[in-house]
């Protein structure tokens, strides 16, 4: 038992499914015309028209018009100016320039078409001339351009200002969110050498549940049933994975099984959870002011959440000293709490939690921290974005106890990749453990012990 895992007696290997479906919808991308597709937009006379049009617009009138009405008015103005200045523009070019101007005034400029494209999960802007998107787990470059650094910087500042934050040379990094809930990270020069950088994790307009995750090939019905039971019987769950692996999506799916009568307090850097329950208090961190004061950290919010009579505390992501307060919450009557963490596998997740607890300067010994983790965390769900673009559950691990200095882990499910199809999609099977769980009494208390065993038998 030197590796810290439980013995494999009672474990059986089974074929579960061909992992062939990506974790995002694979419908063909709609035809979207980007601003830079208008070849006339780079002509000097068209740039002059753009400036003249902006100069003639009244800010008060613009704010009072509906987007459709504004678009028609701007298009009419462009047509008049093109006639006066004898600039040859066809109807398509006029419409494209009008759309660009309206997007700049009311939206996020060249990013607007990308935000409207439901097939895109992530948008990454590396300076004014390079923009990449992720579709189906694959990165591709798109023909989106900003006019210059100033144009891109203005978009960055508009995003930050919309939620009362700022980003400039004195404070060049910012986490924010868009009106639809999409998460945004901004970093400006001089830290970003090649120009302002924007990273947007888009907010799904349609909440994803386990049924959809099964159809995408992210997990099997048996795993979905085990995770549903875990949420219903109030196990403390950590969702682990890399950047963009689907941790928040998994937490949103799990949260659907929380009793609507429970009081939930969420703590996030940028609010993005899509919980469906009626009794939710959403807390969000705050950066320091221009004078360096007024910062509210995740640890401050977790401590405050403990005084708000929560039934469950959900932390969007644990990344620092708040890990100690999270463990305290899980171990003091707030069963069913959840959080996410960045780690490569479930054992690494435990090591990361231990390191972050040490950041809290509580003076605890490594064994005391490990004991605290064992008594607080019940399950770790590992998710991974794999090389074919699919996001999949690779491990569901029970924290089964501690022996000496080593935490004992029981991999209830563990994915083994067995090959790939002719189209490049991975295939695999899960190794399933039927060892009696250490929280079987909890399952019996909720009357879900037979359902748990049946889910394993059906695997």
Share of the chain above pLDDT 70, in %: 87
Claim to verify: residue 38 and residue 88 sit in the same structural domain: yes
pTM of the model: 0.77
Environment class of 181 (CB within 10 Å of its CB; exposed 0-12, middle 13-18, buried 19+): middle
Q: In the predicted model, what is the mean pLDDT of residues 75-88? A: 78
* Burial readout 243-253 (b: 16 or more C-beta within 10 A, e: otherwise): eebbbbbbbbb
pLDDT tier, 455 (very low <50, low <70, confident <90, very high otherwise):
very high
Q: Which domain holds residue 361?
A: 11-25+207-457
Claim to verify: residue 124 and residue 47 sit in the same structural domain: no
Task: Kindly report the CATH number assigned to the domain that includes residue 128.
Answer: 3.30.450.90
> Which of 55, 74, 107 represents a domain boundary (last residue)?
107
pLDDT of residue 81: 77
178 versus 164: which is more confidently predicted? 178
Claim to verify: residue 339 and residue 284 sit in the same structural domain: yes
For residue 220, being part of any structural domain is answered with yes
d(CA 269, CA 163): 12
- Map tokens 């307009």 to a residue: 205
pLDDT tier, 7 (very low <50, low <70, confident <90, very high otherwise):
very low
For residue 2, being part of any structural domain is answered with no
Task: Kindly report the CATH number assigned to the domain that includes residue 429.
Answer: 3.40.50.300
d(CA 13, CA 213): 23
pLDDT of residue 13: 46
Claim to verify: residue 345 and residue 312 sit in the same structural domain: yes
Is residue 192 within 8 Å of residue 168, measured between CB atoms? no
Strand 338-342 and strand 312-315: the pairing is parallel
For residue 1, being part of any structural domain is answered with no
For residue 112, being part of any structural domain is answered with no
Claim to verify: residue 135 and residue 270 sit in the same structural domain: no
In the chain, the number of structural domains is 3
> Which of 173, 204, 235 represents a domain boundary (last residue)?
204
Claim to verify: residue 407 and residue 317 sit in the same structural domain: yes
For residue 436, being part of any structural domain is answered with yes
For residue 298, being part of any structural domain is answered with yes
pLDDT of residue 58: 66
pLDDT of residue 9: 36
Is residue 207 within 8 Å of residue 217, measured between CB atoms? no
Q: In the predicted model, what is the mean pLDDT of residues 170-185? A: 86
Q: In the predicted model, what is the mean pLDDT of residues 87-101? A: 78
- Map tokens 């109807």 to a residue: 91
The answer on pLDDT for 263 being more than 80 is yes
pLDDT of residue 396: 97
pLDDT in tens, 28-38: 444 445 554 44
Claim to verify: residue 250 and residue 383 sit in the same structural domain: yes
Claim to verify: residue 368 and residue 452 sit in the same structural domain: yes
Share of the chain above pLDDT 90, in %: 40
pLDDT tier, 344 (very low <50, low <70, confident <90, very high otherwise):
very high
Claim to verify: residue 269 and residue 181 sit in the same structural domain: no
For residue 3, being part of any structural domain is answered with no
pLDDT of residue 62: 67
The answer on pLDDT for 26 being more than 60 is no
Claim to verify: residue 38 and residue 17 sit in the same structural domain: no
pLDDT tier, 229 (very low <50, low <70, confident <90, very high otherwise):
very high
The answer on pLDDT for 361 being more than 80 is no
The CA distances from residue 255 to 52, 62, 207, 349, in Å, are 52, 41, 11, 21
pLDDT in tens, 279-309: 999 998 888 877 778 889 989 999 999 899 9
> Which of 171, 189, 204 represents a domain boundary (last residue)?
204
The answer on pLDDT for 1 being more than 50 is no
Mean predicted lDDT score pLDDT of the chain: 83
The helix (run of H) or strand (run of E) holding residue 397 is strand 391-403
pLDDT in tens, 385-408: 998 888 999 999 999 999 988 899
Strand 338-342 and strand 280-284: the pairing is unpaired
Claim to verify: residue 335 and residue 446 sit in the same structural domain: yes
Claim to verify: residue 265 and residue 386 sit in the same structural domain: yes
For residue 5, being part of any structural domain is answered with no
């Amino acid at each position: 038992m030197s590796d810290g895992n439980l013995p494999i007696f009672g474990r059986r290997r089974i074929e579960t499914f061909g992992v062939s479906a990506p974790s995002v919808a694979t419908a063909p991308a709609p035809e979207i015309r980007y601003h830079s597709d208008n070849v006339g937009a780079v002509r000097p006379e068209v740039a002059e028209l753009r400036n003249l049009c902006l100069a003639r617009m009244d800010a008060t009138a613009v704010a009072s018009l509906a987007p459709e009405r504004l678009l028609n008015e701007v298009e009419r103005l462009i047509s008049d100016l093109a006639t006066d200045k004898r600039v040859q523009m066809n109807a398509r070019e006029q419409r494209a320039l009008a759309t660009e101007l309206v997007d700049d005034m009311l939206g996020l400029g060249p990013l607007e078409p990308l935000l409207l494209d439901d097939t895109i999960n992530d948008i990454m802007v590396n300076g004014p001339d390079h923009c990449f998107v992720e579709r189906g787990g694959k990165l591709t470059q798109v023909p989106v351009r900003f006019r210059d650094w100033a144009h891109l910087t203005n978009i960055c500042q508009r995003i930050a200002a919309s939620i009362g934050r700022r980003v400039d040379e004195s404070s060049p990094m910012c986490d924010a969110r868009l009106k639809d809930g999409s998460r945004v990270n901004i970093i400006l020069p001089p830290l970003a050498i090649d120009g302002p950088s924007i990273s947007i994790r888009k907010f799904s307009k349609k909440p994803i549940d386990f049924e959809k995750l099964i159809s995408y090939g992210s997990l099997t019905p048996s795993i979905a049933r085990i995770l549903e039971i875990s949420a219903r019987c109030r196990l403390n769950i950590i969702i682990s994975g890399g950047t963009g692996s689907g941790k928040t999506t998994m937490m949103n799916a799990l949260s659907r099984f929380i009793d609507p009568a429970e009081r939930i307090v969420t703590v996030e850097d940028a609010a993005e959870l899509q919980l469906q329950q009626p009794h939710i208090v959403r807390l969000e961190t705050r950066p320091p002011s221009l004078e360096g004061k007024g910062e509210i950290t995740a640890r401050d919010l977790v401590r405050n959440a403990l005084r708000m009579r929560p039934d469950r505390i959900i932390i969007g992501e644990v990344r620092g000293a708040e890990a100690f307060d999270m463990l305290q919450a899980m171990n003091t009557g707030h069963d069913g709490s959840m959080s996410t963490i960045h780690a490569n596998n479930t054992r690494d997740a435990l090591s990361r939690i231990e390191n972050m607890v040490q950041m809290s300067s509580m003076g605890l010994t490594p064994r005391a921290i490990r004991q605290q983790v064992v008594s607080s965390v019940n399950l770790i769900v590992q998710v991974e974005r794999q090389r074919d673009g699919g996001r999949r559950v690779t491990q569901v691990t029970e924290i089964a106890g501690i022996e000496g200095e080593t935490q004992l882990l029981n991999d209830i499910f563990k994915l083994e990749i067995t090959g790939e199809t002719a189209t490049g999609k991975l295939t695999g099977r899960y190794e399933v453990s039927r060892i009696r769980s250490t929280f079987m009494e909890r399952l019996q208390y909720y009357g879900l012990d037979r359902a748990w065993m049946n889910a394993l038998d059906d695997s």
